[in-house]
Chain A
C-alpha cells in the first residue's frame, strides 16, 4: 500500500511569491489533514478535510492560505503571497476514520523556506 505522498519535498521561494504544496493521501482515506511545524516549535494543526469538504479549518493562520481537495482525492495547500514567517515543514496526514482511532499516516513533509 502506497503511503501519503507530498510534493515537493523542499521549496525555496522569495517573499511575496506563491507556492502550492500537494498531498496525495492513502487511497480510500476520506480524512486528510494538514499540519505545520515552524522552526523550534511544536507541530500545529491547520485543517481537516472529510472527502472534499472542510471539516475543521480552525488552525489556518490567515487568508493567505488556501486549501482545496477537489474530488476528495489529493489536496493542495496554496500560500499567496508567502511571508517569511510561513517558513517551516508542512505535513499532510490521512486516516480512515474521523477520530483517527485506526491511526494516522503522515507524509514526509514539504520543507518551505521563504527568503
Chain B
C-alpha cells in the first residue's frame, strides 16, 4: 500500500534554532518527492521537488534530502523565523498514475 509517514507530528522550537523534519514513504513506482508548507487557512505551497536521482535540494533556509534506497527524506530548516510556523507536508508522486500521496504533516510552531 502506498503510504507516506511523517515525524514528529508536532514540534515547538525557539526562533533562530534549526530543526529537521522526517518523512518515510512506501510509494512504488517512485516518481518524485515534494515538501509543501501550509499556513493555517491557506493552500499548500511548494518548497522543493526531488526526483530519484537528486539527493539534496535547497530553497533559501529550507534544505531537503532524499535517500531513495531507504525511502527516506528530511527537511531541514535553518535559523527559524516566526513566519516558519506552519504545517510541513511530505508528498510522494507515483510514476504509474501521477497521483500525489500525502503525509499527515508536521505542525511546526516557532516561539519568540
Q: Could you tell me which A residues sit within 8 Å of B by CB distance? A: 4, 35, 41-45, 48, 56, 58-59, 91, 93, 98-101, 103-104, 106-109
Chain A residue at smallest Cβ distance from B5: A42
Contact A108 B43 (CB under 8 A): yes
**Are B98 and A42 within 8 A (Cβ)?**
no
- Give every chain A residue within 8 A of B93 (Cβ-Cβ): 99-100
Interface residues of chain B, those whose CB is within 8 Å of chain A, are: 4, 31-32, 41-46, 49, 89, 93, 97-100, 102-105
User: Nearest Cβ in chain B — how far from A8, in angstroms?
Assistant: 13
Q: Compute how far the CA of A101 lies from the CA of B97 in the bound complex, rounded to whole angstroms.
A: 13
Total contacts A-B at CB 8 Å: 48
Q: Are A108 and B103 in contact (CB under 8 A)?
A: no
Are B89 and A43 in contact (CB-based, < 8 A)?
Answer: yes
B98 contacts A44, C-beta separation under 8 Å? no
Known A-B contacts: A56-B97, A108-B41. Give 10 more (CB < 8 A): A4-B43, A41-B104, A42-B89, A42-B102, A42-B104, A58-B99, A99-B93, A100-B93, A106-B44, A109-B41
